[in-house]
Amino acid sequence: MEGLIPLVNRLQDAFAALGQSCLLDLPQIAVVGGQSAGKSSVLENCVSRDFLPRGSGIVTRRPLVLQLITAKTEYAEFLHCKGRKFTDFDEVRQEIEVETDRITGLNKGISSIPINLRIYSPHVLSLTLIDLPGITKVPVGDQPPDIEQQIRDMIMQFISRENCLILAVTPANTDLANSDALKLAKEVDPQGLRTIGVITKLDLMDEGTDAREILENKLLPLRRGENVQLPIFFAVQKVVWIRAVFGSPGGEPNQLTNHIRDTLPAFRSKLQSQLLSIEHEVEVYKNFRPEDPTRKTKALLQMVQQFSVDFEKRIEGSGDQVDTLELSGGAKINRIFHERFPFELVKMEFNEKELRREISYAIKNIHGIRQVTGLFTPDMAFEAIVKKQIVKLKGPCLKSVDLVMQELINTVKKCTKKLATYPRLCEETERIVASYIREREEKTKDQVLLLIDIQVSYINTNHEDFIGFANAQQRSSQVNKSAVGNQVIRKGWLTINNIGIMKGGSKEYWFVLTAESLSWYKDDE
């Protein structure tokens, strides 16, 4: 068990060296409290040294991962200053301030990028604590208006993890029920299973009051630490409470060690699951050779091929990423054909009065000086009017082509997002494919106009859409007759008398009566 905390420390250092937050839910202790709650005193009591920045407002503006290691000599090391040992703890304070300003600037802003500090000393317990920014209510200086929410989000990012112990620091001279630290702790740990309460500033309590009920764990019961038969709230009086909560060097295991031991099985299972997943991803690159001159070409071809597959899936509708916010890709193109195009046809201006006037002029112009007679419209006049209406289809058709092309361009842009890591490749892929689509756009429009011109060039008046009234009536009669021609009205046994020369004779037949005929048979088969 002695190697558990150093192991977790190494994991934290490894992730910090990579420049990213730890994706694993490592066991740790997070120190939470409001401004001026005494968090710095708690941490400095753990070290028996004054090494933290002091001042008004938000002093801790980046998470401080404080790794304490029991050793014979006393010194400090920063992960960002590897190889440099700090023996003067005033210099440690200055380095924390400088490193904080390097990331957050001088305007009292905050950052979630941690500072890793390791302290070796014979006066410390092997322990790892994470000091988080103090909870504030009012922004100061150039701080953003939502600074309170930013700090809250950062704190919740740490304490919402199941493997994180919460060290909730509350001053004794405030109402415990209004403790910001305990409120946040209760949101993520309502049963108090992983919350350790710490009371500070007992010497500032009002005269005639005491913290007995708090120290006896009666006012706000917390269950963390029941196994060691000690109350959970401890007064910060030098280092006595530290021994009580966290054990002693070489003595019983401390709270963090016990916590690591309790969470180790689940942590190991999760780690193995992630390891298998990563090994599966690495398998793809098993034969990858960085020195291979063709690797760039292979990688390029793979990305282009993936782009092609993604584009096809978005059009065909079998993509692995389904957009639930709006229609896109093939679905939107389908909507253009089946909803937008008919809508554009309906929008076409149609003035019946104007159309009748045009028909009248067309008929008169066809007859010339002859008297207009007959009941039927001359073919030439009919064709002239129909052709003019057909030509009007060009507008909605071309507009539909424009809409489809625009959606194809948008689909290309969405598919190239996966190439964002390579801006030049992303830009060129989008440009080349978009240019090709625009080339096809011109040919598509030419084809659409050609189809309309073909319809205009020959009007097939023998088509069923152009049959006259008499033919329409006859056709309708034939359709109705054929629809009921074989319809059976009634069937059954029928007795027929006086058949043929056999006067007075009778016989039973199976008959079938339809709309057109009466048939009879010897039997029902």
Alpha carbon 193 to its chain centroid, in Å, reads: 32
Q: Does domain 29-252 have CATH number 3.40.50.300?
A: yes
DSSP string for residues in 331-360: HHHHHIIIIIHHHHHHHS---HHHHHHHHH
AA identity, residue 459 = I
Q: What mean pLDDT is predicted for residues 258-278?
A: 79
Specify whether the CB–CB gap between 98 and 106 falls below 8 A. no
* HSE value, Cβ hemisphere, 13 Å, CA-based, for 111: 15
> Which band of pLDDT confidence, cut at 50, 70 and 90, is reported for residue 7?
confident
**Calpha distance 185→84 (Å, rounded):** 37
Residue 353: the pLDDT is: 75
Around Cβ 407, how many Cβ atoms within 10 Å? 21
Contact indicator for 187, 172 with CB cutoff of 8 Å: no
Task: Encode 327-363: b = buried (16+ Cβ within 10 Å), e = exposed.
Answer: ebbbebbeebeeebbeebeeeeeeeeeeeeebeeebb
Helix (H, G, I), strand (E, B) or coil at 523: coil
Check for a shared fold between 29-252 and 306-457.
Answer: no
For 147-178, the three-class secondary structure string (H helix, E strand, C coil) is HHHHHHHHHHHHHCCCCEEEEEEEECCCCHHH
Tell me the per-residue pLDDT of 92-140, one tens digit each, with 9 for 90 and over: 999 998 998 888 877 777 888 889 898 999 888 777 888 998 888 777 7
**pLDDT at position 518:** 77
The full DSSP string for 272-317 is HHHHHHHHHHHHTTTT--TT-TTHHHHHHHHHHHHHHHHHHHHHHT
Residues 234 and 215: their CA atoms lie apart, in Å, by: 6
What pLDDT score does 228 carry?
Answer: 31
Q: Residue 104 has what pLDDT?
A: 81
Domain 306-457: give its CATH code: 1.20.120.1240
Whether 394 shows a pLDDT value over 70: the answer reads yes
Q: Report how far residue 109's alpha carbon sits from residue 103's, in angstroms, rounded to the nearest whole number.
A: 9
Q: What is the DSSP-derived secondary structure letter of residue 235?
A: E
d(C-alpha 70, C-alpha 127), whole Å = 9
The total number of residues shown for the chain amounts to: 525
Q: What pLDDT, on the 0 to 100 scale, is given for residue 165?
A: 86
pLDDT band at 230 (very low <50, low <70, confident <90, very high): very low
pLDDT tens digits, 456-493: 888 776 666 665 544 555 665 565 555 445 667 677 77
Burial label, 122 (beta-carbon count in 10 A; 0-12, 13-18, 19+): exposed
Tell whether the model's pLDDT for residue 227 goes beyond 60.
no
Confidence of residue 346 (pLDDT cuts 50, 70, 90): confident
CA separation, residue 387 to residues 306, 384, 454 (Å):
48, 5, 11
Phi, psi of 372, rounded to the nearest 5 degrees: -75, 115
- Would the pLDDT of 234 be above 60? no
**pLDDT category, 26, cuts 50, 70, 90?**
low
pLDDT of res. 251: 46
Tokens of 391: 């030509």
Distances (CA, A) of 247 to 46, 65, 182: 12, 20, 23
| Higher-pLDDT residue of 376, 396 | 396
The domain locations on the chain are: 29-252, 306-457, 488-521
pLDDT at 86 over 90: yes
d(CA 224, CA 389): 84
The span from the CA of 476 to the CA of 483, in Å, is 10
- Say which residue the tokens 């050609």 belong to: 450
Q: Which of 84-93, 264-273, 323-332, 452-461 has the highest mean pLDDT?
A: 84-93
217 pLDDT band (50/70/90 cuts)? low
User: Could you write out the DSSP letters of every residue in 123-155?
Assistant: TS-SEEEEE-PPB-SS--TT--TTHHHHHHHHH
**Identity of the highest mean pLDDT range in 375-389, 396-410, 464-478:** 396-410
pLDDT digits (tens, 9 = 90+) for 151-209: 899 999 889 888 888 888 888 777 777 788 888 988 998 888 888 888 887 777 777 66
Q: What is the CB-side half-sphere exposure of residue 270 using CA atoms within 13 A? A: 11
pLDDT-derived band at 53 (thresholds 50, 70, 90) equals confident
CB 390 within 8 A of CB 452: yes
Looking at this protein, which amino acid is placed at residue 215? L
